[in-house]
Amino acid sequence: MVRVINTPTQTQWENPYAPKITSPGICQMNNTPHPMPIPTHTESQAEIKTNHARRGFLTQVGGASLGVGLASSGVVAQAQPKPVWAEVVGREHWAHKGVDGVSVRLFLWRKQRADMVGSVRSAQHRGTVVFVHGSSMASTPVFDLQIPERPQSSLMDWFARLGYDVWCFDCEGYGRSDKTRPVNANVACGADDLAAVSEYIMGLNGGEPLLLYGASSGGLRAALFAQRHPQRVKRLALDAFVWTGEGSPTLADRRKRLPAYLASNRRPIDRAMIRSIFTRDHPGTSDLTVVEAFADAVLALDSSVPTGTYVDMSANLPLCDPEKITVPTLIMRGQYDGIASFADLSAFFDKLPNPDKQFTVMPGIAHTSTRSKNYQLVYHLLESYFSRPDPVYWGA
C-alpha cells in the first residue's frame, strides 16, 4: 500500500515541520499537531519532493577550483560557486503484519533520487538499503533529519544521492505505526515487523536482497531477522550492538529500573532523556545544535515509547546466535559506547561464520554514531561495506 503526494517547488511551499533557525546555533521545530515532516496535500497527487529541493551528488557549478592570483596586496581568491544538490524524492508506504488474526499497520518511508524513481534496475541503481531504528525514537528523526543549510544531516538523502533505493520504517508502537495492541514491542516483535516490511519492499524491487543497517536495539532486531531470513539480506551492518551485555555500564544502570519497565508496556520520553543519549557516555562527541533539532523531530512523533527492548537488553540477553547469522556482517562500535563493550562484540564477531565480515571501532564516537561530530566517517564506513564487491574465490 502506498500513498504518493506531489508537492510544489521550494518557492511555493515550505515544509512546516522542518527545523528553523531562530538564532545562531538554535534550531526549532514548529509546534504543529501532524507527526510527520510531510505536507498535508491530497492523496491523489503523484509524488512528494523533500523540503530541500536541490539535493544529490555534490556537483560544482561552473569552474571547479579556487583561482589564486598574486598582487601587491597579497593572494586573491575567487569566490567558489555554491554546490547544487540533485532532487531527492520521498514517499510514504504502508505494510501490514498479521498477528493472531490482527492486522498491524506499519509506516514505511522511501527516499530516491528524483531521476531514478521507477528505475530500480537501472545502471545507476546501487542497491536497496533498509534502516532499523532503536529503542527510544521512531525512524525518520534518526535517518531523515532535515536541517536547513545542512542537507548531510539526512543519512537517507546521502545514500539516495549515491544511487541507492533507501527505506526506513517505524516498528509497532513507534511513530506513525499502529500502537493499539497491548504489547511492549520487544526485539522479537521488531524482527517480525522487519519480516513484513522486507516482504513488502522486495515485492517492489524484484526480490533483490536488502542492505540492512540497525543501530542499538535496531541492530538486535536486524540481527534476529537476518538469523531467521538470511535469504533476504545481502549485507548486514550492526551499529552500537550488544550481545550478552557483559561489560556494559549503561545496561548495568538500566537494570536498576527493570521493575518499572516490567510494570508498563510504555515509558515516557522527554527532551532531557533524549539529550542524555548523547552525553551519558562521553560528552562532546555530538553537535548539540543537531541534538536539539533531533529532539524536536522525535518529540513531534512520540511522547512515550514501548518498554520491550529495554526489558530485553536488561534481562534477556543474548537474543540472537552469531553462529546462525550466515550473511556478510559489519560490526560498528563507537570508541566511547557505554552499551557495546569491545570484549562482548569481539566474542560475537569471532563466532560469525561468514568470512566476509568486518569489525570496526569508530574513533571519537559514543552510542549514536550518525548524530556524532564524526558522522562522515560513519557514512563512509557504511557505504564502503555495502558497496564492497562480493568475493569471487572462497578457497578450496
Q: Give the 3-state DSSP-derived string for 158-204, with helices as H, strands as E and coil as C.
A: HHHHCCEEEEEECCCCCCCCCCCCCCCCCHHHHHHHHHHHHHHHHHH
Q: Considering only CA atoms, which of 105, 64, 106 is closest in space to residue 81?
A: 64
* Domains of the chain and any CATH numbers: 91-386 (3.40.50.1820)
Q: Which residues of 211-226 are buried (b: 16+ CB within 10 A; e: fewer)?
A: bbbbbbbbbbbbbbbb
Q: What percent of the chain has pLDDT over 90?
A: 74
Mean pLDDT of 46-73: 38
Q: What is the mean pLDDT of residues 63-73?
A: 39
79: number of Cβ within 10 Å = 7
Q: What is the pLDDT of residues 283-342, one digit of tens each?
A: 999 988 899 999 999 999 999 999 999 999 999 999 999 999 999 999 999 999 999 899
> pLDDT over 70 for what percent of the chain?
79
How high is the pLDDT of residue 72?
Answer: 42
> Which band of pLDDT confidence, cut at 50, 70 and 90, is reported for residue 120?
low
Q: Which pLDDT score, from 0 to 100, does residue 119 have?
A: 66
> In terms of pTM, does the model score above 0.95?
no
Tell me what the pLDDT averaged over the chain comes to: 84
Residue 104: Cβ-neighbour burial (10 angstroms; 0-12, 13-18, 19+): buried
Q: How far apart are the first and last CA of the chain?
A: 47
Euclidean distance between CA atoms 144 and 162, whole angstroms: 15
Nearest 5 degrees, angle CA 243-CA 275-CA 184? 50
Cell digits for 363?
574513533
Give the mean pLDDT of 174-182. Answer: 98
Q: Mind listing the pLDDT tens digit for each residue in 185-238? A: 999 999 999 999 999 999 999 999 999 999 999 999 999 999 999 999 999 999
